Amino acid sequence: MGAHRAHREDEYGPDDATAAEARAVLVRDIVAGGALDDPAWRAAFEEVPRHVFVPYYFVSRPGGYERLWSGDPDPVRQRRWLKGAYADGPLATRVRDGELISSSSQPSLMARMLEELDVRDGDRVLEIGAGTGYNAALLAHRLGDAQVTTVDLDPEITESARTHLAAAGYRPAVVTGDGARGCPERAPYDRIIATCTLPSVPTAWLAQCLPGARILAPFATGLIALRVGDGGADGNGGAGGVHRRRYAEGHFLHTAAYFVPLRGTPVAPGASGGGPMAHRPLGGLPRRTIENDLFRFLLALTAGSLDPHEALSLWERERRPGRERFGITVTGDGQWAWLDDPAGPYVWPLSGP
């Protein structure tokens, strides 16, 4: 689908040649890291101008943040801005009262997630978390504007994303709303991708998916890939109609992923799968273990269900399993995480009844 779109450079700093050179370097770095095997996604990253979506961003410094922006009259600082826009790293794009509330994700991680989404021509995609609009532009480049919907709770974020998308020549649907509720008015979807960490999987998403749909979302410092299935009719559809029961199940990818949390409506009572670990009693656990990335993933995945010492026993007994050995099952009756097999001995709830 990816025909080149004309975009305005004058409002966003560099000329076409300078930006294209920086973009080519980024793509080479992503490819060297093992991503963008799919030519369609490589073309999207080669043509969608990331700098248009980050006309300013914040870099941390002692005591706060420094703002870099495209219109800086200092050419040295403007070059710093452009270099950062095409570095393979996340960018803080919105900070409120010292708290990061929106960012542009690391491009190589975005590339891996988009490839793992496994889209096909004609697929309808719902993105949860509009951010800068860059990810929606990549999706629109690959699938076409009409196939892409992106949702965010914050009207300032959606308005900014819509402006960036138009400047780059893309016009997918940008909706202001609670991402936990999905976007039923544009359903059904073949794919859902979230760019924010979930505390649990919103069951509203399942109802808006076609059977066989794929959901890819950050969860507990990892990425869960779920396949949606049809459990049949539940008979409660009201006058002459029926609702279809949906379920979803799948494994985590091996990739680590750290995103800002989903904001908005609580998605399940007692949900804790993506929650913080700061208040968990970790006394007596070896410091080296606590700092281990894979163990911290397990701590996040078992928060509210397993005592940290129980989690450590499981981790050591199973020889320090990686993320890809874990999975999640979602039904209308609840959500469970598991190790190796949803019918195996290691299963625990992610949310209350």
Strand pairing class (209-219; 222-233): antiparallel
pLDDT digit string, tens, across residues 309-320: 999 999 999 999
- Position 243 scores a pLDDT of 61
Q: Which of 64-78, 91-105, 203-217 has the highest mean pLDDT?
A: 203-217
Q: Is the pLDDT of residue 280 over 90?
A: no
Whose tokens are 């542009």? That residue is: 104
- Position 61 scores a pLDDT of 84
Q: What domains appear along the chain, each with residue ranges and CATH number?
A: 10-195 (3.40.50.150), 262-349 (no CATH)
E strands, the chain, where? 56-61, 64-69, 91-96, 99-104, 125-128, 148-152, 173-176, 189-194, 209-219, 222-233, 244-251, 326-331, 334-339, 347-349
pLDDT band for 63, please (50, 70, 90 cuts). Answer: confident
pLDDT band for 11, please (50, 70, 90 cuts). Answer: very low
pLDDT digit string, tens, across residues 83-103: 999 999 999 998 887 777 778
- Position 235 scores a pLDDT of 54
pLDDT band for 249, please (50, 70, 90 cuts). Answer: very high
Q: Is the pLDDT of residue 276 over 80?
A: no
- Position 279 scores a pLDDT of 46
Residues 154-175 have a mean pLDDT of 97
- Position 9 scores a pLDDT of 44
pLDDT digit string, tens, across residues 181-195: 999 999 999 999 999
Where is average pLDDT lowest: 32-41, 154-163, 252-261? 252-261
Options 70, 102, 104, 200, the catalytic residue: 102
Strand pairing class (189-194; 209-219): parallel
The residues, any chain, with a CB within 8 Å of residue 170's CB and separated by 6 or more, are 5, 48, 133, 136, 137, 140, 141, 145
- What is this structure's pTM? 0.88
The residues, any chain, with a CB within 8 Å of residue 314's CB and separated by 6 or more, are 298, 306, 339, 346
Average pLDDT, the chain: 88
Residues constituting the chain: 353
Q: Which two tokens stand for residue 26?
A: 């980024």
Residues 262-288 have a mean pLDDT of 56
Residues 63-81 have a mean pLDDT of 91
State the Cα–Cα distance between residues 23 and 16, nearest whole angstrom.
10
pLDDT band for 269, please (50, 70, 90 cuts). Answer: very low
DSSP 217: E
- Position 70 scores a pLDDT of 94
Q: Is the pLDDT of residue 237 over 80?
A: no
Respond yes or no: is residue 70 known to be catalytic: no
State the Cα–Cα distance between residues 64 and 159, nearest whole angstrom.
26
Q: Which residues of 134-150 are buried (b: 16+ CB within 10 A; e: fewer)?
A: bbbbbbbbbbbbebbbb
- Position 293 scores a pLDDT of 93
| Cβ atoms of 216 and 113 closer than 8 Å | yes
- Position 96 scores a pLDDT of 80
Q: Is the pLDDT of residue 73 over 80?
A: yes
Q: Is the pLDDT of residue 146 over 70?
A: yes
